[in-house]
Amino acid sequence: MKTSRTSATALGCVLAAVALTLAACGGGDKAAKPEGEAAAAAADYERGPHNGRLLRDGDFAIEVTIYEEGPEPLFRLYPYLKDKPLDPKQVQANIALSRLGPKVDRFVFTPENDYLASPGVVSEPHSFDVAVSAVRAGKRSAWTYQSYEGRTIISADAAQAGGVTTQQVGPAVLGESLPLSGRVEITPEGQAEVHARYPGRVMSMTVELGQRVSRGQVVARVESSESLQTYSVTAPISGVITAKNVNPGSITGGGTPMLTIGDPTRLHAEFFLYPRDAERVRVGQRIEIKSQAGEHTATGVIEAILPADDVLSQTLVAHVELPYQGGVWRPGLGVSGLVQVGQGEVPLAVRTKALQPFRDFTVVYAKVGDTYEVRMLDLGRRTEEWTEVLGGIEPGTTYVVDGAFLIRADIEKSGASHDH
């Protein structure tokens, strides 16, 4: 626990140092300047009847909205003349969105009902420099403004102090893992049954259930039914008494063992394979084993796959040898396993630890210069190291791997939210 307190203290010092760096730079170039100025200004701009941004040029005005009630967000422009709705057929309009990257999305509008519409999707994030152009009665009007979300600026020094590291989006090899559940058991080689050499009556027992015994130790005395001679029964191996089937006075020698001894240092994990998983698991595959509480781990190899005792269940059992590790693995305890069942290359992936929540999305933070901005991702397969990306970010984009919490905290502090 001392290590944990030290790590927490060190992290706190780093964050404090970053905070001081940010605060100390208020007079000149800001070490961290959330582009919340645009978000704050969003509350200042004039809104139209549809709660969009109202852009004026004399008596003529255009209200810019993003319609998000359908399957994809789309622009809708509402024209006005002297604050009254204007027939959209009298207006030609287009919009250019300059994104961080740089990338420019262009939209051309046509009249539809009481507004101008464009089929182009306004893709996430809704963070861009906007240029609007409209022509009415031969007169051209033009406006520009900033509409940012999920964006901030952090200087290189502040990012380094916060432990920010980056990497480029690209192909990766994903190992496919299959979770399994099982239990710890003593191996068959670590168990021995104790039988009477000759049938007879048990005269005495010197051991109890759960007692540890040594090889050669006398565990019982039996009177032979034929010779009426009493002889000693000894332990064939060292271990613990795991089953006791007789007591003094019992008749033994009918095939049922008197005792069962198990060596608790010779253990394996038994993992249950159900029909849907059995075909994917093979002898020789590596498996990560973890105790139920997650405090103990081990790495092993599947040594055998055998039918379960209940044949009708159609369940197989995978056997994995466990190291003794000073007794942390105890027979009968449950364990979980993660077996590598295959791997393959995907064209686009990011580090799993880079993923962060943002609104209803899972994102990474793209980096361009000292500017960081969210990228909403469509995700595929995931492992502890890599996550496949199906869309939402361009190949070769630089993104934050370590220290993403610093970027996220700065954006949340700035209030650079979803606003149009």
Q: Are residues 249 and 285 in the same domain?
A: no
CA 322, CA 312: separation in Å to the nearest integer? 28
pLDDT in tens, 81-125: 999 999 999 999 999 999 998 799 999 999 999 999 999 999 999
| 243 & 315 share domain | no
CATH number at residue 247: 2.40.50.100
User: At which of 290, 317, 343 does a domain end?
Assistant: 343
Contact call for residues 146 and 118 (beta carbons, < 8 A): no
pLDDT tens for 253-281 read: 888 999 999 999 999 999 999 888 888 89
Q: pLDDT tens digits for the chain (420 residues)?
A: 333 333 333 334 433 433 333 333 333 333 333 444 444 444 578 999 999 999 999 999 999 999 998 889 999 999 999 999 999 999 999 999 999 987 999 999 999 999 999 999 999 999 999 999 999 999 999 999 999 999 999 999 999 999 999 999 999 988 878 899 999 999 999 999 999 999 999 999 999 999 999 999 999 999 999 999 999 999 999 999 999 999 999 999 888 999 999 999 999 999 999 888 888 899 999 899 999 887 889 999 999 999 887 767 778 999 999 988 888 899 999 999 988 887 788 999 999 999 999 988 999 999 999 999 999 999 998 888 899 999 999 999 999 999 988 898 888 886 655 555
Cβ atoms of 356 and 401 closer than 8 Å: no
- 103 with 132, same domain: the answer is yes
Determine the Cα–Cα distance for residues 191 and 236; give it in Å rounded to an integer. Answer: 10
* 3-class secondary structure, 355: coil
Domain containing residue 302: 178-185+265-343
What three-state secondary structure class fits 232?
strand
Same domain, 306 and 251: no
316 is a domain residue:
yes
Strand partners, 184: 269
What is the Cα Rg of the chain in Å? 36
Among 312, 343, 374, identify where a domain stops: 343
The closest of 23, 13, 127 to 376, measured between CA atoms, is 127
CATH classification of the domain holding 93: 2.60.40.3340
Phi-psi region of 284 (alpha: psi -120 to 50; beta: other; left: phi over 0): left
Final residue of a domain: which of 245, 261, 277? Answer: 261
Distance CA 388, CA 401 (A): 15
Confirm whether 200 is domain-assigned.
yes
Gap between the Cα atoms of 341 and 339, Å rounded: 6
Q: Is residue 324 one of the residues assigned to a domain?
A: yes
Residue 126 is assigned to a structural domain of this protein: yes
User: Number of folded domains in the chain?
Assistant: 3
CATH number of residue 271's parent domain: 2.40.30.170
